[in-house]
Chain A
Amino acid sequence: MKLDRKEVLHIGLLARLGITESEVDKLGEQLSNILENFEVLQKVNTNGVLPTAQSIPLKNVIKKDEIKPCLPQSEILANAPRKDGEFFRVKAVLE
C-alpha cells in the first residue's frame, strides 16, 4: 500500500496535525513502509474469528449512582491556556 501526497495531506487534515508540505514526502514514505509490513496480516485466515477489543473482557461495568465530591472549578481551570472568569475561552466556533 503506497500513500500518495494527496492521501497523506487528507489524513493529516482528519487528524488536525497541521502537516506541512515539507513533511509530506518523508512521512508518506515512512507510513508506506510501515503499511507494507502490515500486508502480512492478509495471509492469516480469520474466517469465523471474532475480533478482540479487550484482552480481559468484563461485562456490564456499572457504577453505583452516588454523588461524590468533584474537583472545584478553580482547579479545573488552573491549566486552561485561556479563560474568562469561570469559562474556558476559545476562538469563535461559528463565524
Chain B
Amino acid sequence: MNQLTIHEAHQLLKTKKISSVELTKACLNRIHQVDSKVQALITVTENIALKQAHKADELIANGTNINALTGIPAIIKDNICTKGILTTCASKMLGNFVPPYNATVIDILNTCGAVFMGKANMDEFAMGSSTENSAMFTTHNPWDLNRVPGGSSGGSAAAVAVGEAIYALGSDTGGSIRQPAGFCSVTGLKPTYGSVSRYGLVAFASSLDQIGPLTQDANDCALVLNAIANFDDKDSTSVPYAKPDYNQCLNTDLKGLKVGVPKEYFVTGIQPEVETAIRTAIKKLEDLGAYVDWEVSLPHTLYALAVYYIIAPSEASANLARYDGVKYGFSYQDTGNMWQAMEKTRQYGFGDEVKRRIMLGTYALSAGYYDAYYLKAQKVRTLIRQEFDQAFEKYDVLITPTSPSIPFKIGEKTNDPIQMYLSDVCTLPINIAGLPAISIPAGFTDDLPIGMQIIAKPFAEETILKTAHAFQQITNWHKQKPAL
C-alpha cells in the first residue's frame, strides 16, 4: 500500500477502499522496517501523522469533497520550517531549532489535509550533492547501500524510493531535487523561480533556491504542484501568474513537440552508460511524435559551474551571517567577549563545506575582488539566461542527463570539492536561469539508476509534465523499486 502513487491512493481513499490511517500505518511500518538501513529521516512524526490521518478519514466519512493530497503521507526536507517540529537543516547550528511558524508550503499542505510523516535528511544547509555533509548522518542509496543517494535532498529522494511516504518536498538551489531524484530513481521537479513560495525555507542562496516535489511519477508532481504553486505576499520574489491545472496537461500525444538536445551536456566526464541511456530515452520521445534536434549548442554552459560557485556562496555568506548564537540555534557561551562567543559559535556550529562556501562567498564579495568575481559572474549569468531564451524560441523542451554519473560510492568524493561540484554540472545552469526542470527515471546500468532532465522556459511546467508523463506511459523505469 505504501507504494501507491498519489493519484492511485486518492482514488482508493475517495471510494473508501482504504483509509488514510491504514495508508499512514503502512508507511510508518516501512519506516520502522528500512530506515535504520537507509537513514533518510532525521525526525519521525508518528503521532502527528496518525492524528492528521484520523482527521482526513473523518472528512472522507462526512462526505467532504477531498482534494488530491488529503490523507496522503508526505515527508518534508528538514530545511522547511514546520511549527513545533524540529527543523535542523542537518546542521549542528540548528540542531535544537523548533520553528515558531510554518513555511507557506506547509500551511498549504495543512489546508489540503496532508499527513506529515517526518523530516528528511539533507546536506547541511542544502550545500552538497550526497548528504555526506549532513551533521547528523549520511543517507544511503536504497539501490546500493554503499552509495550516496545524491543531494542535497537525498533523504527526501531515498524516502520516496523506498515508500516511507507517498511523496516528499525538497529544495533545489543547483540540482538538489533533481540530482537525488536521478540517483534514487524517482521523479523530482524544480519549479520556475518564483512560482512556489520560499517563505519558511531556510535561506541558502536566495536568487536560486526553489521548493519542489519528489514523487513516483510526473502525474503526482502535477498534483503536488497544483497545491503548492501559489502567489505569496510573504515572499517578495513570488511571481503572480495565471496558474493552470497541471493535471489537465497530461496526455500522451507529443506530436509537434520540439525537443533540443544540447551537446555541451554530453561532453567531458560523462559516463558512457549515462549517455547511451539518455539518447535511447530521447528516441522514445521521437516514437511519440516529437521532433528532435540532436545538434543544439549552448556554448555558455561551460561557464555555469564557475558562475554558480561564485553566486551561490556569495548569497550564502550573507544569508548565514544571521547565525550568531544570540537569537536561536547553537550558541557557544563558555568564552570571553561577544566576538569570541560569535566566532566559537560559528566554528563549532558549522561543518566544513558550509565554512568553505562562506569563505568563498566572503572572498568573492570582499573589497577589491567584487568586480572580478561577483559582478563578472552576474554578467555571465545574463548571457546564460539569454542563451536559454534563444533556444526556447526554437524548442519547447531541452533534454539532458540529470547528472553525468551514476550514484557514486560513499566517501568517494568527500576530499575533492571540485569533483563533488561537478556532480551538479547538468542541473545548476537551470537555477542560474530560473527555469523549471524535472528529473525522471530513464534507465539503469549495473542496477543503478540514471535520470533524464527535461527543461522548459519559465512557467512552462505544463510542457515538462506533459513530456515526462507521455514518456512514463510507454516506459516502466519509474515503476522499478529497490529490493529492500
- Chain A residues in the interface with B (C-beta under 8 A): 3, 8, 11-12, 14-20, 27, 30-31, 33-35, 37-38, 40-42, 44, 46, 49-56, 58, 61, 63, 71, 75-76, 78-82, 88, 90-93, 95
Nearest-Cβ distance from residue A11 to partner chain B, whole angstroms: 5
B239 touches A16 (CB 8 A): no
Instruction: Check if B358 is an interface residue, CB within 8 A of chain A.
Output: yes
Q: What are 11 A-B contacts with C-beta separation under 8 Å?
A: A20-B347, A38-B309, A41-B303, A41-B380, A42-B376, A44-B300, A49-B379, A51-B381, A54-B193, A81-B325, A91-B341
Q: A11-B362, A50-B382, A92-B338 are in contact. Are A82 and B239 (CB under 8 A)?
A: no
A41→B378 CA distance, assembly (Å): 11
Q: A37-B305, A49-B383, A81-B331 are in contact. Are A15 and B358 (CB under 8 A)?
A: yes
A8→B366 CA distance, assembly (Å): 12
Nearest-Cβ distance from residue B344 to partner chain A, whole angstroms: 6
- List B328-364 residues whose CB lies under 8 Å from chain A: 328-331, 333, 337-339, 341-344, 346-348, 350, 355-356, 358-360, 362-363
B381 touches A37 (CB 8 A): no
Q: A33-B418, A34-B418 are in contact. Are A44 and B358 (CB under 8 A)?
A: no
Bin chain B's interface residue count: 35 or more
SS class of chain B's interface: helix, strand, loop or mixed? helix
- List B90-112 residues whose CB lies under 8 Å from chain A: 96-98, 100-101
Q: Which residues of B contact A16 (CB under 8 A)?
A: 324, 339, 342-343, 346
A91 touches B366 (CB 8 A): no
B356 touches A52 (CB 8 A): no
A41 touches B385 (CB 8 A): no
Instruction: Check if B149 is an interface residue, CB within 8 A of chain A.
Output: no
Q: A41-B303, A46-B380 are in contact. Are A79 and B328 (CB under 8 A)?
A: yes
Q: Which residues of A contact B331 (CB under 8 A)?
A: 81-82
By beta carbon, the residue of chain B nearest A75 is B100
Instruction: Check if B207 is an interface residue, CB within 8 A of chain A.
Output: yes
Nearest-Cβ distance from residue A89 to partner chain B, whole angstroms: 9
By beta carbon, the residue of chain A nearest B386 is A49
A51→B375 CA distance, assembly (Å): 7
B193 touches A56 (CB 8 A): yes
A31→B366 CA distance, assembly (Å): 15
For A52, give its contact among B329, B385, B431, B458 (CB under 8 Å): B385
A81 touches B385 (CB 8 A): no
By beta carbon, the residue of chain B nearest A33 is B418
By beta carbon, the residue of chain B nearest A43 is B303
Nearest-Cβ distance from residue A36 to partner chain B, whole angstroms: 9
Instruction: Check if B310 is an interface residue, CB within 8 A of chain A.
Output: yes
B309 touches A34 (CB 8 A): yes
Instruction: Check if B306 is an interface residue, CB within 8 A of chain A.
Output: yes
A58→B460 CA distance, assembly (Å): 18
Instruction: Check if B327 is an interface residue, CB within 8 A of chain A.
Output: yes
Q: Which residues of A contact B431 (CB under 8 A)?
A: 55
Q: Which residues of B contact A55 (CB under 8 A)?
A: 193, 207, 381, 385, 431-435, 458
B378 touches A56 (CB 8 A): no
Knowing that A37-B306, A56-B237 are A-B contacts, what are 7 other residue pairs whose CB atoms are under 8 Å apart, sorted by A's residue number? A16-B343, A35-B363, A50-B379, A51-B381, A55-B381, A58-B236, A79-B327
A74→B85 CA distance, assembly (Å): 17
A82→B328 CA distance, assembly (Å): 9
Instruction: Check if B128 is an interface residue, CB within 8 A of chain A.
Output: no
Q: Which residues of B contact A49 (CB under 8 A)?
A: 379-380, 382-383
| 3 cross-chain pairs, A with B, having the tightest CB-CB distances, nearest first | A55-B434, A18-B347, A81-B331
Instruction: Check if B395 is an interface residue, CB within 8 A of chain A.
Output: no
A17→B372 CA distance, assembly (Å): 24
